[in-house]
Amino acid sequence: MPSWMRLLCSWKMVLRHDAMKIVCLGGGQLGLMLAASGVRLGVGFSFVDEDRHAPAGRLGSLLDPRQEAVLEAHLSDQDVAAITCEREDVAESLLGFLEGRLRPAPDVLRVTRDRLKEKELFSALGISCAPYQAVAGLQDLEQAAGRLGLPMVLKTRCGGYDGKGQLVIHDAGEMAAAWQAMAPQLCLAEAFLPFSCELSLIAVRSLTGEMAFYPLTRNVHHQGILRLSLAPHADADLEGQAKEWVGRLLQHWQLVGTLAVEFFLCQGQLLANEIAPRPHNSGHWTMVGCRSSQFDNHLRAILGWPLGDTGALGPAAMVNFIGDAPEAGQLAPWPGGWLYGKTARPRRKLGHLSLCASDAAQRAFLVQGLAGWPGVWLPPDLDVVCRGSHVGWR
């Protein structure tokens, strides 16, 4: 069919009337799943994304941030009930324009997109994290090595994710090359601490001030990318500590929306690592493992609606499809399977599968059944991990 005819066929889409409209900065898979939470209640979405094939385009219109006048007109439309985001790297000019209107507030993004500011906030709020030092040049790096010891991790302050923008320095001879690889970006050096596993906690805070916390989740990475999440991670002490700290962040910012915090578990103690002020990959299991998913609750939070139940319905797991993914037909019988519609590339997140089991043994059995699926990596001692052990991998 020629494209003009497609256009003709689709013209009515523009005329649909949603009960309520939300604009979301970013149109990736997080935006797609957020919009899916709005469908049943007539909450419609527009997404600000440069990529005209962005995943969320399935569920809403895509706005090009480079067409500034059109975008600003759209953001100023009185029909827009709320403006939110699904990524941190929002242009400062746009943040400035949305001051007082973005949920969460622009200041939250200004901190969470900068690893140094995150660490400084952890320190200011009494939240434990690995020792760190700002690095703006080779001299800083050498000084950091003296203070933090080797090995140590060098990270860019901004822009890194999924293992990008960071490297480990094992001995002093690697220092110059490491700085060469990062410069001229501003960096952060961090002590390299042996941790037994990574955990994350996701919380929501509504416009009304109501707060809710999901159970602690255990995350397993491979080559710097999240591969497997298991929840709930049943350790009441750790969960209590994590909730206390995340609650402190929510209160500090009077945050409206979702906050995900990643922790390392080091010698039995939590160390805060990173903050994401949005729904998070490690919370996808909530779509089948809780009555109200992180996306459902993000939507409620930014609209000032009562929050839904965040309790776990059973032992849940989430497996990412990285670089490759099963066909839709293979995934179809699983209610928690998602394909983002992105072109396959190495290390790219293309979809995931969440499941909720009746007990930990069944969960292990179900996850093991995904071994060999396209894009799936499972830890060699999966059975131990699924039973709740704290042994970890990188």
Chain residues binding a copy of itself by CB under 8 A are 1, 5-10, 12-20, 32, 36, 39-44, 46, 52-53, 57-64, 70, 73-74, 77, 291-292, 296, 299-300, 303-309, 328-329, 331-333, 335, 337-341
Kindly tell me which of 330 and 389 has the beta carbon lying closer to a copy of itself.
330
Q: How far is the CB of 207 from a copy of itself (least distance, A)?
A: 11
Smallest distance from a copy of itself to CB 58, Å: 6
Shortest gap between Cβ of 288 and a copy of itself (angstroms)? 9
Distances (CA, A) of 156 to 134, 161, 184, 304, 374: 10, 10, 10, 36, 31
Give whichever of 1 and 236 is closer to a copy of itself, judged by the CB atom.
1
* Residue number, 145 or 231, with CB nearest to a copy of itself: 231
User: In a 10 Å sphere around its CB, with 0-12 CB exposed, 13-18 middle and 19+ buried, how is residue 33 labelled?
Assistant: buried
User: Smaller CB distance to a copy of itself: residue 20 or 167?
Assistant: 20
Rounded to a whole number of angstroms, the minimum distance from the CB of residue 74 to a copy of itself is 5
Residue (16 or 267) nearer to a copy of itself, CB: 16
Q: CB of residue 374 vs a copy of itself: minimum separation in angstroms?
A: 14
Q: To the nearest whole angstrom, how small is the minimum distance from the Cβ of residue 166 to a copy of itself?
A: 32
The one-letter amino acid code at 306 reads P
Give, in order, the Cα–Cα distances in Å from 163 to each of 16, 166, 180, 223. 41, 6, 18, 7
Residue 182's alpha-carbon distances to 28, 140, 170, 219, 270, in angstroms, are 27, 13, 16, 27, 28
Residue 242 backbone phi and psi in degrees, to 5: -60, -45
User: Which residue, 150 or 339, is less far from a copy of itself as judged by CB?
Assistant: 339
With both helix axes pointing from N to C terminus, report the angle between 138-148 and 175-182 in degrees, rounded to the nearest 10.
130
Q: To the nearest whole angstrom, how small is the minimum distance from the Cβ of residue 316 to a copy of itself?
A: 14
Q: Which residues contact 233 (CB under 8 A, 6 or more apart)?
A: 199, 215, 216, 217, 218, 239, 388
303/367 with CB nearer a copy of itself = 303
Please state the closest distance from residue 98 (CB atom) to a copy of itself, in A: 17
Strand partners of residue 124: none
Q: Which is nearer to a copy of itself, 32 or 191 (CB)?
A: 32
Name which of 52 and 237 has its Cβ closer to a copy of itself: 52
Comparison of 132 and 340: residue with beta carbon closer to a copy of itself: 340
